[in-house]
Amino acid sequence: MHNTNKETNRLRIGITQGDINGIGYEVIIKTLSDKRLLEDFVPIIYGQTRIANYYKKNLNIEEFNYTQIKTAQQAAAKRVNIVNYTEEEVKIEQGFSTSIGGNASFKALEMAVDDLKNKLIDAVVTAPINKQNIQSTKFNFPGHTEYLAANFENQEPLMLLVTDKLRIGTVTGHIPLSDVPKTITKELILKKIEIFNKSLKVDFRISKPKIAVLSLNPHAGDGGIIGDKEINTIIPAIEQANKNGILTFGPFPSDGFFGMGDWIKFDGILAMYHDQGLTPFKILAYDGGVNYTAGLPIVRTSPAHGTAYSIVGKNMASPDSFRQALFLAIDIVRNRLAHEIEND
């Protein structure tokens, strides 16, 4: 992955607009209004200039300027670049879920993924989508993670939530809670641990990562009294991971693990299901959390928040999470390049 700007050696980072009726444009505009950031990378927004102008005017952010380009190859250094996904006028309905908004978010994502496949950009940062209105015959997935996995070799992805020293992955993702116990197997846990370990080593440059695994049942099953998933599935997976040379510990009951601050002792934490990992993460991360899709040949990050319809147009959205998503994408691309050089 060497798609740097030839004149400046800057990385090209694609940015998808997300749901045009959500806070995507607000956090993008607020972040990229800081011209100092343009010294580090070349931003390429997949969206539409008319929509950008609408939100720029609505937010009264005069310092946000951009260059309209037709393809990623035309991206200019030290400028915000926008590639239009359509030239047609698009109806914006701030704070509402619409089919037009869903189509717009998909078209922008589709363009960015094509450019990733063609190595025209080094990474993509995705603004939040609405997982309902984006559904179509071309996008029949629970979210970004699954769509990207299907587009890149169908590799097993691992959703990671990242902030500072806290990195939480999940064995299961966007599935009903009732399906979690039957979905969790020794093989799946072991696969997620292996992906996690590799990502910590390559993407985060941690030489000997320590991974904590959370239990499924309260009190880690209390020796089988409150459930036997730990005895029959989770512990065997942890034991196998250690035999494979991965420093893996647990299973830990999540309440005490986070309540006592034990998470600080580990480089990565593997939760069994979505809310088990995301609830403590969002409490600890505040506004700065980042969603990273590990386990894929491409780099994709996203702010760890949704469309936030309730505050659209009120100039209340914090750009912190989006800014950190940009920084993390750049860091991971550079870390992967460094790893390639070391192992060439």
Right CATH number for 156-295 from 3.40.50.1820, 3.30.70.20, 3.40.718.10, 3.40.50.970? Answer: 3.40.718.10
Q: Which of 235, 240, 208, 209 is nearest to 220 (CA)?
A: 235
Q: pLDDT by residue (tens digit) across 309-318?
A: 999 999 999 9
Rounded to whole angstroms, how far apart are CA atoms 158 and 173? 9
Mean pLDDT, the chain, rounded, equals 93
Task: Residue 253: name the closest of 279, 266, 272 by CA.
Answer: 272
**Predicted TM-score of the model (pTM):** 0.92
Q: What is the pLDDT of residue 4?
A: 55
Find out whether 38 and 80 touch, Cβ atoms under 8 Å. yes
**DSSP symbols for 106-163:** HHHHHHHHHHHHTTSSSEEEEPP--TTTT-SSS--SSSHHHHHHHHTTTPPPEEEEEE
pLDDT digits (tens, 9 = 90+) for 177-234: 999 999 999 999 999 999 999 999 999 999 999 999 999 999 998 889 999 999 999 9
Predicted local distance difference test score (pLDDT) of residue 221: 87
Q: CA–CA separation, 23 vs 17, rounded Å?
A: 10
Per-residue pLDDT of the chain (344 residues; tens, 9 = 90+): 455 554 446 899 999 999 999 999 999 999 999 999 999 899 999 999 999 999 999 999 888 999 999 999 999 999 999 999 999 999 999 999 999 999 999 999 999 999 999 999 999 999 999 999 999 999 999 889 899 999 998 788 999 999 988 999 999 988 899 999 999 999 999 999 999 999 999 999 999 999 999 999 999 988 899 999 999 999 999 999 999 999 999 999 999 999 999 999 999 999 999 999 999 998 998 767 999 999 999 999 999 899 999 999 999 999 999 999 999 999 999 999 999 998 87
Return the structure tokens found at 34.
Answer: 């800081």
Question: Mapping DSSP to helix (H, G, I), strand (E, B) and coil, where does residue 145 land?
Answer: helix
* CATH code given to domain 1-154: 3.40.718.10
In this prediction, residue 8 carries a pLDDT of 46
pLDDT of residue 343: 84
How does DSSP assign 23-36, residue by residue?
A: THHHHHHHHHT-GG
The predicted structure's pLDDT at residue 7: 44
DSSP string, 213-269: EE-SSGGGGGGGTT-SHIIIIIHHHHHHHHHTT-EEEEEE-HHHHHHTTGGGG-SEE
What local confidence, expressed as pLDDT, does residue 155 receive?
Answer: 80
Give domain limits for the chain.
1-154, 156-295
* Number of Cβ within a 10 Å radius of residue 78: 12
Which residue in the block uniquely carries the two structure tokens 């009903």? 176
Position 292, amino acid = Y
Q: Do domains 1-154 and 156-295 have the same CATH topology?
A: yes
